[in-house]
């Protein structure tokens, strides 16, 4: 896949190096898991911390499917 250059908000979470969209999604998933942002009951939902909230356009909670849609717009 063609690498995507993360913008400044996304670079704070995944780094500033260009990444394929699949790797970008994997990094966001692992970051949400590592920081404890995943909800306990519904594992596909992410409660955004300040860095992720900036990436998700100000939304406090998104699903994994919505996350990929929001990131593809960047």
The pTM of this model reads 0.76
Query: 60 exposed, middle or buried (CB, 10 Å; 0-12, 13-18, 19+)?
Result: exposed
Residues 6+ apart with CB under 8 A from 57: 70
In this structure, what token pair is assigned to residue 69?
């849609």
Answer whether residue 74 shows pLDDT above 70. Answer: no
Tens-place pLDDT, residues 37-50 = 888 888 888 888 88
Residue 7 has pLDDT above 80, yes or no: yes
pLDDT for 2 equals: 80
């Amino acid at each position: 896949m063609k690498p995507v250059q993360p913008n400044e908000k996304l670079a704070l979470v995944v780094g500033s190096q260009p990444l394929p969209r699949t790797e970008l999604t994997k990094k966001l998933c692992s970051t949400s898991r590592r920081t404890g942002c995943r909800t306990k009951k519904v594992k596909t939902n992410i409660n955004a911390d300040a860095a992720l909230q900036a990436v998700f356009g100000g939304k406090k909670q998104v699903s994994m499917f919505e996350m990929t849609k929001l990131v593809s717009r960047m």
